[in-house]
Structure 1
Amino acid sequence: MSWVYLILAGIFEMIGVAMINSLYKNKNWQSFVLMLAGFGGSFLFLALAMKALPMGTAYAIWTGIGASGGAILGMLLYGESKDWRRVVFIVMVLGAAVGLKLVS
């Protein structure tokens, strides 16, 4: 169950990051509330995951999901560059996260 919590933490982190961008562009209270909820959920699920997973592994995977997911959301929703080199590095980050899971 801790791996499910960790994936949920990463998804909520992606929501929080997307809402930072939305808040910057729109400056509305809905984006602010969703940003707080995203980061709040992220930290809650990360804490639950760390009850059973080693801190270093959990943190590395959480940041990997958040960073890669944020970059992917930027490409899909906000028109950021979809250059093949960028995609390669996103895949490398996700591959490193999977590698950490395999050795932990």
Structure 2
Amino acid sequence: MSGNNLVLPIVLWSRTAPTHCISSLLVMDDFSTIITGCHDGQICLWDMTPELQICPRAMLFGHTASITCLSKASASSDKQYIVSASESGWVIFLTVTTAPPQEVWIKPGSSC
């Protein structure tokens, strides 16, 4: 791979953004990343500027039911992990510092 290659992630939306009825919200410690979970199972990552402008970074599809919980899953600031849980009992562990965000671990039908 040559040093002249540039890879740009692209998100295609229609004229309006997808319905994203928020059911869960998490603000990371650096206050520059916001994570929202919604009723139809999507997770969105948002970048927030010091001027409080919010821009979408990524939309993740992994859950099939409403997101009930979003939580930090690491104390490290260099690699930020979160865990999400849904009404269907699925738990997904993912990193938000890679581009694109990556699922690290999935546990279907988890229960406490």
Q: TM-score, length-normalised on structure 2? A: 0.27
Higher relative contact order (CA 8 A, sep 6+): 1
More strand by share: 2
Query: Under a length normalisation based on structure 1, what TM-score does the superposition of the two structures give?
Result: 0.28
